[in-house]
Amino acid sequence: MDKLKMILAVFLMTAIFNGFGAEDIQAKSSDLVVVLDAGHGGYDFGASGSGLYEKILNLKIAQYCKSELEKYKGVKVYMTRSKDTYVGLDERVSIASGVKADVFVSIHINSAVTASATGAEVYYPNLNYRPSVGAKGRKLAGEIQKKLVALGLYNRGIKIRTSSGGTVYADNSAADYYAVIRGSKKAGFPGVIVEHAFISNPADVRSYLSSNVSLKALGVADAKGIAACYGLKKTGDTAETLTKTKLTKLTGQSSTSVSLGWSKVKGADGYEIYRSASKNGTFTKIATVKKAATVSYKDKSLAGGRTFYYKVRPYKMVSDKKIVAGFCAAQKVKLLKKPSIAVKNQSSTRTKVSWKAVPGALQYEVYRSTSEDGKYQKIASVQDVTSFKDTNRRANKSYYYKVRAVSKGVKGNNYSSYSVAQ
């Protein structure tokens, strides 16, 4: 009987060890496990104000956060509650342990007696007992807070709160005050509490809590903070998904400036502009346009009458890293030299304006004004000649003339600077 018992015991123990072994293999999945904890719920309403209840807002923010986080690769998201139900604090941490959480993010709305209290703050674990858990939590708190502050929320900072009532960890060090932060640390993962805004502050409510759009912004900010902390990448966050652009316009604006335009690239955060003095020469970055919506640029103060080559490439930022697409085909622009003109009155009603041919010019525009610094009007556009006779003038009146050269650019005309008025 004893022998049989022993065999049975060995058999059972082997089975248990094998069982653990299998779970260990499962736990080795490289996915980051994030547990989102919508605070309060059920009969526990949390804070309230302006007709809003914290438990409802928390759940919405958590759901928006989950949807955003799930756009990233290598992450699994769980919720401690997905309905308006009561879940105890210890149970929340147990749920997280049960799914092998790497991190626990508790979502709350703040409240204060004074209506003026405002802004966002994030609580993270102290450095007692398991300092590496505290350090990880601190980093996460910082990243989430950064994203919330970027929405315009007042920065109350990231904080720790240690129990003053004698609650201690296994090593007798003072424990964290908040149960979910303490419980998470005991379970081996960092827990943070995000206090998004104040339900007791009418301005916070108006700007951040009173519409689904603003609640979504909070949830998305949390997700971006988590993603930044753990270096998560969105599906499609690679250079291959960023297509090249095309130059849609490249023209001389004057003898010394160039106007560029290019097609908008989906997903780009901005564009880099490169220039070279020769087609196969070295292209140098001359500007970075940091707005996704801006698809044009003016390059000024160039050497007059010279030829330049331009190319543009889009970029996007992924977790603070710049990803660039390939360059578009380089295009050339030849700047036209500024003409110099001579003006001769041939009779009281006829004036001849002449100039030296500008290399590359296809046309010349002649402008006239009755005062030197006044408004000039185009009176003629001429081709294949280097002079113009103005017969449409009155006697005893002085006129001033200017000429500029014109050629064809990429989708538009190249213009030289205006000649000095004569």
Residues contributing to the site for Zn ion (CB under 5 A): 39, 46, 108
Nearer to Zn ion by Cβ, of 46 and 360: the residue is: 46
Nearer to Zn ion by Cβ, of 46 and 183: the residue is: 46
Q: Where are the beta strands (DSSP E) in 263-362?
A: 270-276, 284-289, 296-299, 307-318, 321-324, 331-334, 341-347, 350-355
Nearer to Zn ion by Cβ, of 108 and 156: the residue is: 108
Nearer to Zn ion by Cβ, of 58 and 128: the residue is: 58
Q: For helices 54-69 and 212-230, what crossing angle results, to 10°?
A: 50
Nearer to Zn ion by Cβ, of 108 and 368: the residue is: 108
Nearer to Zn ion by Cβ, of 39 and 339: the residue is: 39
Instruction: Report the nearest approach of Zn ion to the CB of residue 55 (Å).
Output: 8
387, β-bridge pairs: 354
Q: How far apart are CA 312 and CA 294, in angstroms?
A: 13
Asked if 420 and 380 count as a contact pair (C-beta separation under 8 A), the reply is no
**DSSP H stretches of helix in 112-253:** 131-150, 179-187, 202-204, 212-230
Q: How far apart are CA 32 and CA 53, in angstroms?
A: 31
Of the candidates 166, 122, 168, which has an alpha carbon nearest to the alpha carbon of residue 144? 122
SS3 136: helix
Instruction: Report the nearest approach of Zn ion to the CB of residue 102 (Å).
Output: 23
Instruction: Report the nearest approach of Zn ion to the CB of residue 108 (Å).
Output: 4
Instruction: Report the nearest approach of Zn ion to the CB of residue 112 (Å).
Output: 12
Instruction: Report the nearest approach of Zn ion to the CB of residue 54 (Å).
Output: 5
Nearer to Zn ion by Cβ, of 54 and 365: the residue is: 54
Phi-psi region of 371 (alpha: psi -120 to 50; beta: other; left: phi over 0): beta
Q: Starting from the edge strand earliest in sequence, which strands make up the sheet with 155-159, in order? A: 75-79, 32-38, 103-110, 191-198, 120-123, 155-159
Q: How far apart are CA 222 and CA 214, in angstroms?
A: 13
Q: 3-state SS of the chain: helix, strand, coil percent to 5?
A: 25, 35, 40
Please provide residue 203's backbone torsions phi and psi, each rounded to the nearest 5 degrees. -70, -40
Instruction: Report the nearest approach of Zn ion to the CB of residue 88 (Å).
Output: 14
Instruction: Report the nearest approach of Zn ion to the CB of residue 81 (Å).
Output: 13
Please provide residue 24's backbone torsions phi and psi, each rounded to the nearest 5 degrees. -60, -40
Nearer to Zn ion by Cβ, of 39 and 191: the residue is: 39
Q: How far apart are CA 225 and CA 319, in angstroms?
A: 10
Q: How far apart are CA 120 and CA 198, in angstroms?
A: 8
Nearer to Zn ion by Cβ, of 65 and 242: the residue is: 65
- Closest residue to Zn ion, based on beta-carbon distance: 108
Instruction: Report the nearest approach of Zn ion to the CB of residue 125 (Å).
Output: 18
Nearer to Zn ion by Cβ, of 25 and 113: the residue is: 113
Instruction: Report the nearest approach of Zn ion to the CB of residue 107 (Å).
Output: 9
Instruction: Report the nearest approach of Zn ion to the CB of residue 46 (Å).
Output: 4
SS3 51: coil
